[in-house]
Structure 1
Amino acid sequence: MFDPVLFDLSDGVATITLNRPDAGNSINETSGMALVAVVDKLRAQDAVRAVVLTGSGKEFCVGGDIDEMLHAADLSALMQAGIPRLHAAVSRLAELPCPVITAVNGPAGGGGIGLALCGDIVLASQSMKLRGGYSAIGLSPDLGASWQLARRAGAAQAKRILFLNEPVGAEECLALGLVDAVYPDDRLAEEACALAARLAAGATASFGRIKQLVDGAGTRSLQEQLALEAGYMIASAGSRDGREGVRAFMEKRSPVFRGR
């Protein structure tokens, strides 16, 4: 037996690894439940200061397990049982009050797109590519794939990717703003770990407030945003990290942040 989703916590960095390499890290009922459990475990860990989500093997996540779908007695019932739990996990992962990095180590398709793009920062390998896949088998997006594509690349590009199901390579994804950086395959893990370590040493309470301000900015008026900014600035200024950051700046030294 093996764990379909691996979890490691070291020096404040939590690493989640999708671990079905022989099946393209596709999500079936078992791995979906494992991912939900890992995200719930992650949220209960106060020691987590940054998160990396990646895949094992040569693919990040090709989406749902087509073989499981094919053999399901009732495909709609299968989706109804699994999708809400997975959606809750994706939402909780994206909304963590600390930086989330996705290290997309290879192809991502279907629901794998939603997972790949749910990070605050998305790093990709040169072999990474996206492929919608849903409409090719008569289904529609899940795990936030449509939202992430539209948010990062705009509605027109999202529809092109999801309508045509043509592979979109790493460099094109970078040009479209779908990913934030592209690295050679053999450097991606190293770069993701280095970035996570850098962020984990930072003011993670500040990062959490920044996430809430930026992620919700499109739904608020300027007045509402200014009010929230004021509240967060006052809270930050009264925190240990806020005082430490200002003091370190004046003393021309590196701050030592405790985070959330």
Structure 2
Amino acid sequence: MPSPDRSRTRPEETLAQLRELFLAEGFASFNIGDLAERLRCSRTTLYAVAPSKEQIVVAVVRSFFKTVTERIEARVAASGDPARQLAVYLEAVAAELQPVSAAFLADVAAFGPANEVYQENTRYAAERVRSLVTEGVRAGVLRSVHAPFVGTAVAEVMNSIQRGAVQSATGFDAAQSYRHLADLVLAGLATAPADERAVTGGSLRYEVADGVATIELDRPESSNALDLPTARALGDAAEAAAADPGVRCVLLLGRGRNFCAGGDVTAMHGAADRAGHVLELARTAHRAVLALAGLEVPVVAAVQGAAAGAGLALTLVADVVLAGESATFLTAYAQAGLTPDCGTSWLLPQVVGLRRALTLTLTDRRLTAAEAADWGLVTDVHPDEELAEAARQAAARIAAGPFPALGRTRRLLRDAPARSLADQLSIEAATIAETAASAAAGARLDAFVK
């Protein structure tokens, strides 16, 4: 008999004991006398839970699913990553069903009122899966699919598991079945490999030629401001470049008069749920920033007109920044009453120093191209009409340079602030040794010696 928990009331303790008994052995074979004997209690104690055996069973089943749901949701809430929450949910369902006997599930399926409780829980689970899929799609970590269909399909499989059909066909118990369901759903919804995605569209152009992956923002009528589709396409393009073994350099461009005016403030203003929209946009843009920052090849950016907010951040993840004489650089967040995003608060102090970073963010000072070059934001300044060609030539020179040495050099410098000198020296030693073994290094060393 389960041991009593003195912190509970007597009916609560009885309910918990019944739950443990039913989960282990089912309930169809017990009458009230059997239950009283197994729990070593009186019938009166049992009837304090509910006035009949049938109602006791329903109370126990409802209590079980309520407790399980609370524990599952606690695990989901503890995972703030949209990429993991669907996995956490389905894995938690499997874990909670691990101790449940086949007899209990069979009895639930056979007893109408208990089965209705199960069906209520299944409908809730289907809706929860739908909402988690929707959130994952919005965050750009799951494929764009019809979330209600996925929820309905998952619910049908859950019903088949509960009826025993899956176990009859596969031999899997309920917990095993849910784990396989989680694997299947997540494999099907996982974002496609970058080289399988279409990264061109109405707001961005992507092409690879002669080792240079050109990513061009193409919303000139909106100063190339990042809305959700553009931010998503930018992340796709950066990941496509990372996955392409032929890419040696990435070139960032903005079509029209301005490089990038930041996030789409008009869309933010018009959103019914402004906070929700801004959060979704920030997370989507952050995926793009991380993809660009993590590239194993150098990044060149050509800036004409305004580079503001997220546009400024894109220049900060670039390694060579060429500016037209018309270019201006500003954070722009204070103007909109907002705080920095896209890594600006982390990247800007590294590039210009903390004091200057504070000046730019707190006062919304606008730097000219010449000032930006003086501050270290810009590598070179060119006449506007010569900027595009200068940028393409710079990217071409890098693409023709020693590979993988230039990309690894980028990584060494970009990652250094997070390491101690001792760790950096260790990484440098390993990297130069690995690079020395490359064919490109061998050819250049031969030519150097000769």
TM over 0.5: yes
Richer in strand (by share):
1
Task: Assess if the C-alpha contact under 8 Å between 2:231 and 2:288 holds in 1.
Answer: no
Q: In the alignment, residue 429 of structure 2 is paired with which amino acid?
A: A
Contact 1:125 1:184 in 2 (8 A): yes
Report how many aligned residue pairs link the two structures: 250
Aligned to 2:275: 76
What secondary structure does 2:404 align onto? Answer: helix
CA distance in 2, matches of 1:222, 1:208: 21
**Which whole-Å deviations, capped at 9, do the CAs of 1:95-126 have from their partners, x for residues lacking one?**
21111001112211111110122101111111
Q: Where does residue 258 of structure 1 map in the other structure?
A: none
Separation (CA, whole Å) in 2 of partners of 1:158 and 1:123: 20
Counterpart in the other structure of 1:158: 357
Paired letter, 1:200:
A
Find out whether 1:129 has 2:328 as its counterpart: yes
Q: What RMSD, in angstroms, separates the aligned Cα atoms of the two structures? A: 1.3
| Aligned partner letter, 1:130 | F
Give 1 or 2: higher helix fraction. 2
Map of 1:255 onto structure 2: none
Letter in 2 for 1:87: H
Q: Structure 2: how far apart are the matches of 1:69 and 1:222?
A: 43
Q: CA deviation at 1:146?
A: 2.4
Cα distance in 2 for residues equivalent to 1:88 and 1:65 = 17
Q: Does 1:186 align with 2:350?
A: no
Matched ranges for 1:1-260 at <5 A: 3-251=202-450
Q: Give unmatched runs, 5+ long, in structure 2.
A: 1-200
Greater Cα shift, 203-212 or 151-160: 203-212
SS at match of 1:73: coil
Who is 2:177 aligned against?
none
Helix, strand or coil: the match of 2:323?
strand
Structure 1 position 243, deviation (Å)? 1.0
Q: Deviations over 1:31-81 (max 9, x none)?
A: 112212212222221111111101000100011111101110111111222
Counterpart residue type for residue 223 of structure 2: G
Task: Decide whether the 8 Å contact of 1:14 with 1:48 is kept in 2.
Answer: yes
Could you say what secondary structure the match of 2:359 adopts? helix
1:30, 1:171 → 2: CA distance? 33
TM-score, normalisation: structure 1: 0.92
- Long gaps (5+) in structure 1: 252-260
Q: Is the 8 A contact 2:403 2:440 kept in 1?
A: no
Question: 2:299 and 2:232 mapped to 1: Cα distance?
Answer: 20
SS of aligned partner of 2:291: helix
